[in-house]
Amino acid sequence: MNDTVALHDMTLAELSQGLRDKQFSSVELTNHFLTRIGKMDAQFNSFITVTREQALVQAQAADDRLAAGNAPALCGIPLAHKDIFCTKGVKTSCASKMLDNFLPPYDATVIDNFQNSGAVMLGKTNMDEFAMGSSNENSFYGPVKNPWAEDSVPGGSSGGSAAAVSARLSPAATATDTGGSIRQPAALCGVTGLKPSYGRVSRWGMIAYASSLDQGGPITRTAEDAAIMLNVMASYDDKDSTCINKDVPDYTSTLNDSIEGLKIGIPKEYFGEGLDSATGAAVEAAIKQYEQQGASISEISLPRTELSVPAYYVIAPAEASANLSRFDGVRYGYRCKDPADLQDLYKRSRGEGFGDEVKRRILVGAYALSAGYYDAYYNKAQQVRRLVKQDYDEAFKSVDIILGPTTPSPAFKFGAKTTDPVAMYLEDIYTISANLAGLPGISLPCGLVDGKPVGLQLISNAFTEARLLNVAHQFQQHTDHHLQPPAASVSA
Ligand code: GLN
């Protein structure tokens, strides 16, 4: 390893090795990132909470464990967690005024898994309120800035996690993806984001948005690091009835498998109207790269692509309206001042505690589920969802991997889509269908357009994350887009 590489430029794989070789301790490493966050995050706003004291205690414990030998790969490595994962005794706000005072009495399973592996928590990252959004403009704590362009959004809803990893304020972060919230911000911030198959990562203690679509996953700089993170995040959990009881392979062990003869399908619907031409060109170059590495490329069709956004925007709000009914001002969270009676308590606590986009989703969802409309909207959307899944089933009969852009264009400017919710919703046109079908998808940096990163998305069949990560890693072995830092990360 090169001694001149700064700690914040090292990958998880390199940090893990460095800790083992005693080049630095976890306390030093943790202090390094805490200092960077302290100096730089006023600029990005990627953290809602920084857990300095707790991080240093965990780092000391990790150093003891490393000294004893046989410590797990992530032992001693600092990470940031999206503020949607419950952390015992540490504020978990989901970026909502509603939960601004919420101290969970327990840890999410994902957080537990990281603790057991000796990882250190730096803090909790900013996001769109209740994970609803594509730009991070819906946070009670203010927007996150894109480290590549301060006038532009970082994407959402996991914008804080993506910006923190991009700006080198954390080596990696957790995030969640209901319709694209890992992959889209990863694309716009020039980092790697993996949404696992539905059921691969426990949702227990992850605040629910749309339960049949939500899935936790990592945001990292490399696919290899995503594999290291998934090794810890994926587990069977009997506290989440939708979590699959399936062995977790070592996702790092197959990263170097050959991709000779790999069959990649290019959905023609992902390259039509709406795709920015320079973004399309960056993705075309990635296709050529795969071809050079021995993959065979063919055009496929996912005919229901354009139905996935409308189906999603019925199903997700419907589930959200049910999930968010628990925030009533009674048990925990925000309570309005001096309620006149119980009705007033409910109405004003919810009216004052939720932001506009969350209210919009609750209204849409409650409407779609109401008597007389349920069959016309909710049931119909579920039928479309089945057809979307059938498109993928058909495609995976002839290809191993589906490749396309992650987003239609690079990061847009703040305010550009806030007055037009539908334009904002179309941001997720390429990511949503993988959630509807429960499939794993990964976004990898594949170039810059006007100085801003764009992403390449790979989707594979359910529970084939090992192959997906292998195919992603092989791209990164032959390209250097993922190694480019934003200029803003170099300043401190
Ligand atoms: N942008 C989508 C939404 O607003 C997806 C968000 C997500 O994946 N959490 O619902």
Other residues' Cβ atoms within 10 Å of the Cβ of residue 297: 15
Phi, psi of 106 (to 5 degrees): -150, 165
CA distance 423 to 172: 30
Counting from 1 in the atom list of ligand 1, the atom nearest the Cα of 313 is 10
Task: Clarify whether 82 is annotated catalytic.
Answer: yes
Counting from 1 in the atom list of ligand 1, the atom nearest the Cα of 428 is 1
Strands 452-460 and 441-449, how do they pair?
antiparallel
Say if CB 210 and CB 322 are below 8 A apart: no
State the pLDDT confidence band at 424, using cuts at 50, 70 and 90: confident
Whether residue 209 has its Cβ less than 6 Å from ligand 1: yes
Whether residue 396 has its Cβ less than 6 Å from ligand 1: no
Phi-psi sector, 159: left (phi>0), alpha (psi -120 to 50), beta: alpha
Which residue out of 138, 177, 181, 422 has the highest number of ligand 1 atoms within 8 Å of its CB and is therefore the one to mutate? 181
* Mean pLDDT of all residues in 170-180: 98
State the pLDDT confidence band at 421, using cuts at 50, 70 and 90: confident
pLDDT digits (tens, 9 = 90+) for 27-64: 999 999 999 999 999 999 999 999 999 999 999 999 99
CA distance 136 to 156: 5
Q: For 9-23, give one letter per residue: b (16+ CB within 10 A) or e.
A: bbbbbbbbebbeeeb
Which residue out of 128, 417, 432, 433 has the highest number of ligand 1 atoms within 8 Å of its CB and is therefore the one to mutate? 128
Using a 10 angstrom Cβ sphere, with 0-12 exposed, 13-18 middle and 19 or more buried, the burial of residue 62 is: buried
Handedness of CA 59, 60, 61, 65 (dihedral sign): positive
Whether residue 428 has its Cβ less than 6 Å from ligand 1: yes
pLDDT at site 423: 82
Q: Which one-letter amino acid corresponds to residue 492?
A: A
Domain at 7-262+399-490, CATH class: alpha beta
Task: Clarify whether 301 is annotated catalytic.
Answer: no
Question: pLDDT at residue 448 above 80?
Answer: yes
Which residue out of 134, 321, 418, 422 has the highest number of ligand 1 atoms within 8 Å of its CB and is therefore the one to mutate? 134
Which residue out of 127, 417, 428, 432 has the highest number of ligand 1 atoms within 8 Å of its CB and is therefore the one to mutate? 428
CA of 324 to the centre of ligand 1 (A): 15
Give percent above pLDDT 70 in the chain.
99
Question: pLDDT at residue 426 above 90?
Answer: no
CA of 183 to the centre of ligand 1 (A): 10
Other residues' Cβ atoms within 10 Å of the Cβ of residue 369: 17
CA of 295 to the centre of ligand 1 (A): 32
Question: pLDDT at residue 451 above 70?
Answer: yes
Say if CB 44 and CB 136 are below 8 A apart: no
H or E segment and range at residue 395: helix 380-395
3-state SS, residue 181: coil
Say if CB 29 and CB 63 are below 8 A apart: no
- Which tokens belong to 241? 């009835």
CA of 122 to the centre of ligand 1 (A): 25
CA distance 97 to 189: 26
Q: Please report, for the chain, the start and end positions of each structural domain, with discontinuous segments joined by +.
A: 7-262+399-490
Q: Residue 84, Cα to own-chain centre: how many angstroms?
A: 11
* Mean pLDDT of all residues in 159-185: 98
* DSSP for 24-57, written as a single string: S-HHHHHHHHHHHHHHHHHHH--EEEE-HHHHHH
Question: pLDDT at residue 1 above 50?
Answer: no
Nearest to 227 by CA among 266, 200, 262: 200
Counting from 1 in the atom list of ligand 1, the atom nearest the Cα of 132 is 4
Secondary structure (H, E, C), 54-105: HHHHHHHHHHHHHHHCCCCCCCCCEEEEECCECECCECCCCCCHHHCCCCCC
| Whole-Å CA distances, 208 to 47, 129, 263, 307, 317 | 20, 12, 36, 24, 12
pLDDT digits (tens, 9 = 90+) for 57-103: 999 999 999 999 989 999 999 999 999 999 999 999 999 999 999 99
Counting from 1 in the atom list of ligand 1, the atom nearest the Cα of 312 is 10
Catalytic residue among 134, 157, 197, 460: 157
Q: Which own/partner pairs from 349-353 qualify as long-range (CB within 8 Å, at least 24 positions apart)?
A: 350/98, 352/97, 353/96, 353/97, 353/98, 353/327, 353/329
Looking at residue 206, what DSSP letter applies? B
Question: pLDDT at residue 2 above 50?
Answer: no
State the pLDDT confidence band at 427, using cuts at 50, 70 and 90: confident
Residue the block writes with tokens 């989440």: 240
Average pLDDT, the chain: 96
H or E segment and range at residue 266: strand 263-267
CA distance 476 to 162: 18
pLDDT at site 85: 99
3-state SS, residue 421: helix
pLDDT at site 491: 58
CA of 13 to the centre of ligand 1 (A): 30
CA distance 444 to 481: 8
* Mean pLDDT of all residues in 205-224: 98
Say if CB 474 and CB 293 are below 8 A apart: yes
Task: Clarify whether 181 is annotated catalytic.
Answer: yes
Catalytic residue among 26, 82, 124, 321: 82
pLDDT digits (tens, 9 = 90+) for 258-307: 999 999 999 999 998 889 999 999 999 999 999 999 999 999 999 999 99
Question: pLDDT at residue 3 above 60?
Answer: no
* Strand locations in 277-368 (E): 296-300
Whether residue 132 has its Cβ less than 6 Å from ligand 1: yes
